[in-house]
Structure 1
């Protein structure tokens, strides 16, 4: 499995002063002006001051120097309210899935007392239903309110996170809504309509272990699964690995359709897409897709866990890897890519 990007939830919690110092050397992805900060490749910007929050630092979460995994952190005057703008390039972009995985990460990080009090599509950049807005109260045993928004513009995902003390909830929400209103787009028509994922249980279809029948050395193909909450998804089962438990998702009512396993809130995902002689395996992450070949059927949950843990003997290396550059170029490399 390719090296994962740092979870975006973990990243915002880890942005300490030393991290800021390192990030100061990684400003290639951002261009500051007198009043704004702009991610040039994405054509997306934000004012340097918005809703009582001011830009503190900017840099790259991972893939230093490539400009595909970028953050900008904003702080209130006393530093108690913290906000982060992420502009990043997952090889499988879906704001609805990003919201779904962040929802899981927030609950896991802040505990069962955390309550999701808002979760709906909102307008952004002049587009109705252009973003998903989520609010979480009573996080960290009642100490914090955290809020987030997610949108998909062109090839890029944008994620906003604002967190602060519960007693300053109004500032947290004003910060999120101010940042949503403050987003600037070179091409607002590139914003995808999105809505929260609609999930239900679906019949398990565990047919035993699958066999890898052929390697893949061609360029990645688009996964045949509706994105951005366009169609209901269902949970086919769960994968339990050394690092956590993940849902196996497919389109509701499409038993022979694509299968995906989202892994984190930074865009890491395992996909099995119908192919001529079975299901083609690909693993997606920020700026990269690894292609492992075709299985004669969908692998079992146990096999998927082995793939994620790097212990599946059939996928010791990828047949091909596609690297996605910030300028839109895609380079395909064949063989020689180790699973871990």
Structure 2
């Protein structure tokens, strides 16, 4: 769970310095914004670390380990712009398989397992276990659990347990977490699938700066981010979108499209909740220019805007633009900052 957005090329590649949360090792910790509680011990493991890469507990990591070190687990709690279990499981699974220690991992099941967690009455979460031959570890696994507008990602590994035994330990860990009220509107989770229709990219070039376009983008994204942050209701106000994979994924990003956003897509950066949105701009629809805005939403509510494109750009174009660090403006908590050169 990495990075504050300054330049995404650096933000994705370089971990931010996380601050330790000052909680006694023998005491439980409660996350103020969700109500989730982590006790000092879970599934026979003691909590060995608790940190936050943001200033407001929007990206928390908690480490647990068995007394003999034979089983270790890390729990991540983060606030993504897109709180979709299938999407973040897709990203987490790829991140796991890309690690050298897990390159020969063999899945214990052909597909991730949907299961009910956090008090849910339906299979709104996903988990999968792997055998890891040729590694210092005997097995590893991951699980993604929805928590309203938040996501809980759990990684667990063992040196002696097989995949089935580790699955039992993972389920025990999840059961011992003190979850808040269940999200009754969470969608039943399923493995991510490819989109049935491909994206149609245009001959996109970076558009001339438009102050009105930039301001509108930042205002709309800022209002949406603030609404999510201020929402005190236990469930989203409407059913969540259904997402599909719009292009082959790589270690840096995955490309996804929702059933409510067929004209654009998002890049999910890494596996830690940060996304880049690429959608038709409001001003582009008004003045018929057909421009597409590019904005990055960080887990701490920061929205960063980048130059627009004259048509729907390819993911590689967007990745190059965002990685260049040419941010034109930023919004957070109602405060908007704009680069004068972008006006």
Distance 2:41 2:102 in 1: 32
Which of 306, 316, 327 pairs up with 1:317? 327
Tell whether 2:125 aligns with 1:131. yes
Structure-1 residue corresponding to 2:114: 121
CA contact (8 A) 1:151 1:194 kept: no
Matches of 2:340 and 2:269, distance apart in 1: 20
Question: CA deviation digits over 1:270-290, x for unaligned, max 9?
Answer: 211233323221112221221
Q: 1:256 to 1:85 in 2, by over 3 A?
A: closer
Determine the structure 1 residue equivalent to 2:336: 333
Please say if residues 91 and 289 of structure 1, whose CA atoms lie closer than 8 Å, have aligned partners that are also in contact: no
Aligned residues, how many? 304
8 A contact 1:236–1:248 mirrored in 2: yes
User: What does 1:192-271 align with in structure 2 at a 5 Å threshold?
Assistant: 192-200=186-194, 202-203=197-198, 205-213=200-208, 214=210, 215-217=213-215, 218-220=219-221, 231=242, 233-236=244-247, 246-251=253-258, 256-271=262-277
Structure-1 separation of matches of 2:175 and 2:129: 17
TM-score normalized by structure 1? 0.75
Per the TM alignment, residue 78 of structure 1 is displaced from its structure 2 partner at its CA by 0.3
Aligned-pair Cα RMSD in Å: 3.7
Distance 1:250 1:156, change over 3 A: closer
Residue 75 of structure 1: how far off its partner (Å) = 0.7
The aligned runs of 1:1-340 (5 Å cut-off) are 2-3=6-7, 26-27=20-21, 36-60=28-52, 62-63=53-54, 65-109=55-99, 110-118=101-109, 119-127=112-120, 128-138=122-132, 141=135, 143-189=137-183, 192-200=186-194, 202-203=197-198, 205-213=200-208, 214=210, 215-217=213-215, 218-220=219-221, 231=242, 233-236=244-247, 246-251=253-258, 256-276=262-282, 277=284, 278-287=291-300, 288-292=302-306, 294-310=308-324, 316-322=326-332, 330-336=333-339
> How far apart are the structure 2 equivalents of 1:195 and 1:49?
28
Matched position secondary structure for 1:57: strand
Which residue of 1 is the match for residue 287 of structure 2? none
* TM-score, normalised by the number of residues in structure 2: 0.74
Q: Determine if contact 1:92/1:284 at 8 Å carries over to the other structure.
A: no
- Any stretches of 5+ residues in structure 1 without a counterpart? 12-18, 323-329
